[in-house]
Structure 1
Amino acid sequence: MKRFSENVPSERYPDWRVTLVLDNLRSAHNVGNILRIAEALQLEVIACGYTPCPPHPVVAKTAMDCDKLVPCRSFGDTLEALATLRREGCQMILALEHNQSSSEVWSLEQVTMPLALVLGNEALGISPQVLAQCDRTVDLPMLGSKASINVGNAAAAALYAIYAKYKEQLKI
């Protein structure tokens, strides 16, 4: 399947190339929701490990046909997916994870395309081995005691922050 950047030429955002890497997500509902976000922002999705991947009936129901529009690849292993992205020219790999070394996604001074954003398992987060392969770990501020929000909601917030930084860099 072709990437969106090949399918939908954009004079306004010619270099916007973002891939979401789903590191062993367990919920098909979350994957469907993430595919809707991916369609809205013209992203590619890579499903890794046991992440439900289209075609999948629950993903399809939640994705509301976005599973048919979003380029989606699958890899048995997230490390293999990241190595492939690097070989394909990915310049920046971010992990969305709340930990000791993370900084708020809004603190990004620059985003470099092509970019990948790794999203982790709903209960376990991103594996330490995968985190070690990422250029930077970003998070969303957590003011409540749970320090956790749904992975699809977190993805949407982080992606729109990245998109805003990208537009700012273009002076749009």
Structure 2
Amino acid sequence: MKQFRQKQQRPKKSSLVIGRIAVLEALQEAKQLDRIYIQSNLRGDVADEIQKLAYKQQIPINKVPVEKLNSFNVNDHEGVIAQLSKIRYQDLQQVIDWVVDKGQVPMFVILDGVTDVRNIGGIARTALCCGAQAIIIPDKGVGALNEDAILTSAGALELIAVCRVNSLMKAVDDLHLNGIKVLASEMTAKKSIYDCDFKEPCAIVMGGEEKGVFPGLMKICDETFKIPMKGDFESLNVGVATAMILYEAMKQRG
């Protein structure tokens, strides 16, 4: 069956930082940026400094042809455009400390390769309603948390903590060091969701619909589990699957 994707709207000009010096100053002022688009063949000290600061601040950089930059319909971009973020990203360790200090049991959602912003928005909405305290995303390979994502989340993305990390593998290590078990949803797993203990500190890994969870990430998870299904259908939508898992976790937590 042919799948149709909703065409993403061009970002509003008010949400863009345009030009090398403007983007560099935004980085130096530690403004919240969703990502930076740099012309693939751009060279020079300013371009190098932009990339250095972006890496340090865990802001994704997309190296793109000039045609992509021109598609933003702005003048004098000088090979660099940044998109302002509507989300204030949080440090993972600080979020863990905050949750524990409040006397809560951590329950986080890790998104690996989930690119559809509507799915991300729906997951954030469900996560907030089910008592999850944070969503963890990588700085690359995930849908942009733009206006469409926030609209789909009904504002939940502005209320739940969002931690953007440059490595999900490193994030899992940090979770383990804090005594948080990491469980991955995998349709071929032998263990059922109903046999998992979600009452303990945990983080749930959800993979994209096309590739699932990255094998290397799956390998370092503590457990894998599946959602039992009748019939011979391939799988559930990632947003629906996440909702089913989080409601089971909420049920267990009483």
TM-score of the alignment, normalized to the shorter chain, above 0.5 = yes
1:111-131 Cα distance to aligned partner (Å, 9 max, x none): 353210000011111111111
Q: State the identity %.
A: 23
Number of the residue aligned with 2:129: 40
Provide the TM-score with structure 2 as the length reference: 0.57
Number of the residue aligned with 1:86: 176
Q: Determine which of 95, 103, 107 is the counterpart of 2:191.
A: 103
Larger Cα-atom Rg: 2
In structure 2, C-alpha distance between the alignment counterparts of 1:105 and 1:77, rounded to whole Å? 26
Structure 1 53/102 Cα, relative in aligned 2: closer, same or farther at 3 Å? Answer: farther
1:123-157 Cα distance to aligned partner (Å, 9 max, x none): 11111111111111111112132231110110111
Number of the residue aligned with 1:144: 231
SS of the aligned residue for 1:103 comes to coil
Q: Which has the higher contact order (CA 8 A, sep 6+)?
A: 1
Aligned length: 159
SS of the aligned residue for 1:149 comes to coil
Number of the residue aligned with 1:66: 156
Q: Is the 8 A contact 1:93 1:135 kept in 2?
A: yes
How much has 1:3 moved relative to structure 2?
Answer: 4.2
Amino acid at match of 1:25: V
How much has 1:97 moved relative to structure 2?
Answer: 1.1
Q: Is the 8 A contact 2:199 2:252 kept in 1?
A: no
Structure 2, unpaired ranges of 5+: 1-89
Q: Is the 8 A contact 1:19 1:116 kept in 2?
A: yes
The Cα RMSD (Å) is: 2.3
SS of the aligned residue for 1:102 comes to coil
- Tell me whether 1:126 sits opposite 2:213 in the alignment: yes
Provide the TM-score with structure 1 as the length reference: 0.82
Q: Determine which of 119, 123, 142 is the counterpart of 1:51.
A: 142
Amino acid at match of 1:51: V
In structure 2, C-alpha distance between the alignment counterparts of 1:20 and 1:115, rounded to whole Å? 9
In structure 1, C-alpha distance between the alignment counterparts of 2:235 and 2:211, rounded to whole Å? 12
